[in-house]
């Protein structure tokens, strides 16, 4: 019997559900939660365009009223404890607007708020979880994607990745992917690979990351590769930061 239930609203129908399920089947396997996916099927900028001008229109209400498929609508109508939105940053999308992006981060901040939920942007897309040439990958902190190349990013990352068969991604692999992204986050934000732990973890780090990426976009026409849906693990237990960064795999297995 599950005591909590999560709804993930995702951009895609394949990679987001696949990778989130991997996270919950490995690192978060002991959580007593049930989760469903609702695939929106297009960019977050389309969804935000529908709800941003009406503070009384919730994300769920809009999706329920506009969804024509009965099976998909029934998913939205179930009772949930938490609401997450998982989308690509997609700065090449024709409706991309920096002011809208910043407003989204001010709007979609709380997974307990069923009018809005909490958003995770992945840079540049969800497929960034595969952007590793080896494990470990000593160059991961330097990887970026130019704006002009984003339309071909999925093809590019599938060619370079060590994960030719993502179905083989397991507990240790997920831990390593998370560790790479945590280390890159603290390096980008604080220029430090040593002094980032649960004591100094700042819940505004994802906001700071967004601001960093916007600067990169404006100055260099690029975004740094980084997968953030992995950080849902930190939302549930800050101790994962210490455990993962220090590679305490035996401790992690016992959580």
Lowest mean pLDDT among 22-31, 134-143, 205-214: 22-31
pLDDT at 2: 59
pLDDT, tens only, 75-119: 999 999 999 999 999 999 999 999 999 999 999 999 999 889 999
Cα 194 versus chain centre, distance? 24
What's the mean per-residue pLDDT of the chain?
89
pLDDT for 32: 84
Q: Listing from the earlier edge strand, what are the strands of the sheet with 82-88?
A: 33-39, 4-10, 82-88, 117-122, 109-110
Q: Give the sign of the dihedral formed by CA 131, CA 172, CA 22, CA 232.
A: negative
Residues whose CB is less than 8 angstroms from the CB of residue 103 and which lie 6 or more positions away in sequence, other chains included: 48, 52
Whether the per-residue pLDDT at 248 is higher than 60: the answer is no
pLDDT tens digits, 33-46: 899 999 999 999 99
Q: What is the pLDDT of residue 246?
A: 67
* Predicted TM-score of the model (pTM): 0.92
């Amino acid at each position: 019997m599950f005591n909590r239930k999560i709804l993930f609203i995702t951009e895609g129908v394949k990679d987001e559900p696949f990778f989130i399920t991997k996270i919950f089947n490995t690192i978060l396997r002991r959580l007593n939660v049930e989760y469903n996916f609702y695939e929106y099927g297009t960019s977050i900028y389309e969804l935000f365009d529908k709800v941003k001008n009406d503070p009384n229109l919730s994300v769920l209400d809009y999706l329920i009223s506009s969804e024509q498929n009965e099976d998909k609508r029934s998913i939205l109508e179930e009772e949930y404890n938490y609401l997450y939105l998982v989308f690509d940053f997609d700065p090449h999308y024709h409706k991309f607007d920096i002011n809208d992006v910043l407003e989204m981060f001010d709007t979609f901040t709380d997974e307990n708020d069923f009018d809005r939920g909490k958003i995770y942007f992945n840079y540049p897309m969800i497929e960034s979880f595969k952007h590793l040439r080896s494990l470990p990958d000593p160059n991961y902190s330097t990887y970026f994607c130019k704006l002009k190349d984003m339309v071909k990013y999925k093809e590019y990352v599938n060619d370079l990745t060590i994960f030719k068969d993502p179905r083989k991604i397991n507990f240790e692999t997920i831990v390593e992917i998370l560790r790479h992204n945590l280390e890159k986050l603290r390096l980008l934000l604080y220029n430090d690979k040593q002094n980032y732990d649960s004591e100094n973890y700042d819940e505004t780090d994802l906001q700071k990351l967004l601001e960093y990426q916007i600067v990169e976009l404006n100055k260099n026409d690029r975004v740094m590769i980084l997968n953030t849906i992995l950080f849902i693990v930190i939302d549930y237990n800050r101790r994962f930061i210490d455990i993962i960064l220090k590679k305490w795999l035996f401790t992690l297995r016992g959580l």
